[in-house]
Structures are given as C-alpha cells and as structure tokens.
Amino acid sequence: MTRRVQRGFLAILPALASAIVGSVVTRTACADVPPVPSMTLRDALEYAHVHQPDLQAAAARVAVARGSGDVTRARWYPTLTAAAELLATTTNNTTGSYLGAPGLDNPRVSATLARSTTSASLEPAASSLVALGVRQEIFDFGRISARAAADDLSVDVARLSAAGIRLVVDDNIEEAYFAVYASEAVVRASESALVRARAHRNEAKAGLEAGLRRPIELTRAEAVLDRYDLGRIRAGRNVVIAQAVLAAAVGVPDHRLDIAGAPPAPADLPSPAVAFQAAARNPDVLGAETRIRADERETRAIATETRPNLYFSGALSGNAGGATPSSGSSAEASGLLPLVPNWDVGLVLSWPLVDEVVRARVRQSQAREQVARDEAAVVRQRLDSDVEQAYADAEAARDALPVLKRALDAAIANYYQASARFSAGVGNAIEMADAEELRTSAEIDLAQGAFAVARARASLGRFLAEGA
C-alpha cells in the first residue's frame, strides 16, 4: 500500500513542478460516465480506519497475538483423552499389551509369564484396550505465567505496530488529499490563463485585421494559446492520477476518489524541544522498546521449561490379553474384547533435570535480545533524523508561503500593466506572453507552496505521533 501511494506521488509531483499551466477536466461528466465519489478529509480518515486493508491486516495480527496468550492460559484447563486399541503382539513378558496414547496415562495391570528365554515364542496374541483419561495441571512452578507474560508483551508489540501503520496510512491520506486539492488549484489558475490567452489571441487577430498589429503578434498569441491548451491536457491526467492515489490510500472500492471541500489548514508548528519530546511517543520507538522487554520475557519463559511440573492424572479403562497367563484362566474371546475394568487416580511430579535443548534455546533467545536492543537504537536514531528533516521542511515551506503570495500579487500587477500596454498598442505579444507566463507560474507556485506546507506538516505529525 505505501509503495503504491509513493509511486502515485512520484507521478504527480514532477508534473506539477514542471508544468507552466495546468487544468483539470471539468467535473460535469458525460451522461454515460459515473461521477467520481468525493469525501471530506475527516470522512476519508474515518473510512480508512475501518476499511483500509493495511489497517485491517494490522488488526488481524493483533488478534493473532492475543490468541497466543489464550493458547498459553488454556494449559490450566483439564484435557480429556479417549483411546481404543486392538493389537497383535508377542507376549513373552505379559498377558496384555498396549501402546502409549498422548494425553492418556494408563498404568500397566497384567500378569507376567514364567517363561525362560529358551521357551520364548514369536507367536502373537491379541490385546485390546479402551480407556478414558484426564489430566489437570495442579502447579506449574511459574512455567505458564512466564509464558503468558511473554505473550502479553507480544500483543503490545503488535498493537504498537498497528498504531504505527495507522500513522503512515493517515499521512498518506492527508498527502494524497492535499495533492488533489493542489491539482485542482492549478486547474483554476490554468483555466483562467486559458481564457485570458484566448482573449489576447482574439485581440491580436482583430488588430491584425485592422492593420494595427503585425502577423508575428498573432502567431505568437496562437502559440501561447496552444501551449496552455497542452498544459490543460497534461494537468487533467495528473488530477486523475491524484484521485486514484487518494482512492488507494483510503481503501475505497472505487478507482478514483475526489475531495469534498477544502482541507483543513495545517496545524501550527510546535517548538523543536516539544517536537523531540513528542517523538518519544512514536509507536515505532515504543514498539522497539517493547520488543526488547518481550524478548527478555521470552528468554525467561524458555528457562522455566526446566522447572518441575505437578499434575493430576486419572483414567477409566478396560483391557484384555489373549496370551496364556502364569495363573488363572485366559481372557475371553482370546483378548479381543476389553472386558477387564481398571481405574486409577494419581499426582504426577515430573522434572526435566537436564535438557541441553532448552539451554541452547535460552542462549538463542538472549542473542535475539541483543538484536532487539541494536534495532531499537537504530529506530531512535532514524526517528531523530526524520524529525529534524521534517521540521526543517515544514519551516521552509511555511516561511516560503508569504513570499509566494507576494510574488503572485506582483505578477498580477505586472500582468495588468502588460495587458493595458498591449490593448493600447504600446506593448507587444512577447511582453504579453511573458506577463501571462509569470502570472500563471506564480499561481501554480502558490498552489504548490500550500501543498508543500500541508505535506511537510503531515509528515512531521506522523513522526510526532499526532492523533495516535
């Protein structure tokens, strides 16, 4: 999403910066062309917060992280396991055989055969088993709580990442919104210039027909008119691109999105000290710091896997073995029917005293902690640089705006002087064309300057986590 928006701006800004004139295609569309939908900036942001794909994916990642914590805490709930087995095995040591089933603790209850190794037989006998077992965690010595704490910090990391993505999306929307507004400001300037150029062309033509003008006056005016007409065509393309970028940034299903009304004025710049203090609340910085704590908790959680574990175990079972017992009668149906009942309950304490795999995982997790610390330092350094650059851009754009306004006022005054001289027959077409170009360029520069202010302020707001 972010790369697509940036490519759109790269397509818009050079054209705006180099165009002498620009115009937008009028909004009165043909009957068979549906109108382009429009939104205010507030509506666009609110819509994106619910429907924008990047934000939806970020919210889904937060939900997945929360699910990991639910999985960990589910270890406190009992597990119930059912098993049924029918085996054909040799029975040189017992009259009944069974396989261990995961989650089922089934004590071996059987009679041994008094067979010597010389009388061992490879003839199989049937064994059968049906059982229902339960396990319940009693005391985990901090294993589950340590893992849950690590999972909770992972949720915080995902949540801060989502907040950072939201700031980027908001910045993209604001930038795209102001780009559309700037394009349409260029429209108004270029359409006015086109009207004025056409009037001057007509005036030069009438003067030529009356013998008051030379042919070069008319050809020059026609060349200027065609130049503005070409600018109108190119500017219309730029507006379509700007609307497409805005639609992608907001996440609307339409291919293009127009603006509704003028966007709000950019907020005032804070002082540099306040700006750098606010940058400390940026989700990227907070997320990097939280990632360090999450990795530290992960290391602790792994280390707790070598602690003891106490759990309750119980089972109801029926089994039978078809081999000849050392005493008593053989089982009915040759051991195919598990008719011998048994039950058991007990407390089991297990303790993995030595586990080199766990130790290796601890060392690996400690290495990840150092990586997280180094990455956090990079994030903080990069953010400081971004804030410094964005603040300088915002200051320069803000300070340039009054100059652009004065330049426009001077260009308009110069245009009226040149127009009066041209109408009086004192000025020539070249002087008139220069005055028109100066005025139109000044109007476009002012539109670009307003866009630069809004764009720089929006970028600074993202780094300062405004609205997060």
Q: Report yes or no on 307 lying in a domain.
A: no
104-108, 289-293, 364-368, 427-431: least confidently modelled range: 104-108
**pLDDT number for residue 55:** 95
H/E element, 375: helix 356-423
Residue 326 shares a structural domain with residue 368: no
> Residue for token digits 């986590």?
465
> Smallest Cα–Cα separation from 43: which of 296, 324, 259?
259
- Residue 460: which residues within 8 A CB-CB, separation 6 or more? 269, 275, 387, 390, 391, 393, 394
> Smallest Cα–Cα separation from 322: which of 305, 302, 336?
336
Tell how strand 38-39 and strand 258-259 pair up. Answer: parallel
Give the pLDDT band of residue 28 (cuts 50, 70, 90).
Answer: very low
Q: Report yes or no on 416 lying in a domain.
A: yes
Give the pLDDT band of residue 100 (cuts 50, 70, 90).
Answer: low
Residue 49 shares a structural domain with residue 161: yes
Residue 239 shares a structural domain with residue 121: no
d(CA 363, CA 375): 19
Give the pLDDT band of residue 12 (cuts 50, 70, 90).
Answer: very low
Helices 143-209, 53-73: crossing angle, 10 deg rounding: 180
Express each pLDDT in 48-84 by its tens digit: 999 999 999 999 999 999 999 999 999 999 999 888 8
Residue 285 shares a structural domain with residue 195: yes
Q: Which residue has the higher pLDDT, 117 or 400?
A: 400
The predicted model gives 35-51 an average pLDDT of 93
Please, where are the H alpha helices in 90-142?
Answer: none
| Angle subtended at Cα 303 by Cα 297 and Cα 308, rounded to the nearest 5 degrees | 125
Residue 365 shares a structural domain with residue 412: yes
Q: Report yes or no on 305 lying in a domain.
A: no
> Smallest Cα–Cα separation from 447: which of 407, 391, 387, 395?
407
Q: Would you mind telling me the total number of residues written for the chain in this entry?
A: 468
Q: Which residue has the higher pLDDT, 18 or 204?
A: 204
Tell how strand 79-89 and strand 125-139 pair up. Answer: antiparallel
pLDDT of residue 354 exceeding 80, the answer is yes
Residue 334 shares a structural domain with residue 452: no
Q: Report yes or no on 45 lying in a domain.
A: yes
**What global pTM score does this model have?**
0.77
Express each pLDDT in 230-264 by its tens digit: 888 888 888 999 999 999 999 999 999 999 988 88
Domain that holds residue 132: 79-140+312-354
Number of domains in the chain: 2
Other beta carbons less than 10 A from residue 272's beta carbon = 12
Q: Give CA torsion, residues 188, 192, 198, 200, to 10 deg.
A: -150
Residue 68 shares a structural domain with residue 206: yes
Q: Report yes or no on 304 lying in a domain.
A: no
Residue 185 shares a structural domain with residue 325: no
pLDDT of residue 396 exceeding 90, the answer is yes
Q: Report yes or no on 306 lying in a domain.
A: no
The predicted model gives 130-148 an average pLDDT of 92
Q: Give CA torsion, residues 338, 339, 340, 343, to 10 deg.
A: 80
> Smallest Cα–Cα separation from 459: which of 282, 336, 209?
282
**pLDDT number for residue 90:** 63
Residue 364 shares a structural domain with residue 413: yes
d(CA 41, CA 8): 19
Backbone phi, psi, residue 311, to 5°: -145, 155
Instruction: Give me the DSSP letters along 269-294.
Output: PPPHHHHHHHHTT-HHHHHHHHHHHH
Residue 246 shares a structural domain with residue 347: no
Other beta carbons less than 10 A from residue 367's beta carbon = 12
| CATH number for 67 | 1.20.1600.10
Q: Report yes or no on 241 lying in a domain.
A: yes
- Amino acid residing at 93: N
d(CA 210, CA 130): 115
The distance of Cα 164 from the centroid of its chain, to the nearest Å, equals 8
Residue 128 shares a structural domain with residue 185: no
**pLDDT number for residue 204:** 82
> Smallest Cα–Cα separation from 315: which of 139, 95, 136, 138?
136
Give the pLDDT band of residue 203 (cuts 50, 70, 90).
Answer: confident
Express each pLDDT in 383-393 by its tens digit: 999 999 999 99
d(CA 151, CA 91): 48
pLDDT of residue 298 exceeding 90, the answer is yes
- Amino acid residing at 420: A
d(CA 410, CA 417): 11
Residue 110 shares a structural domain with residue 230: no
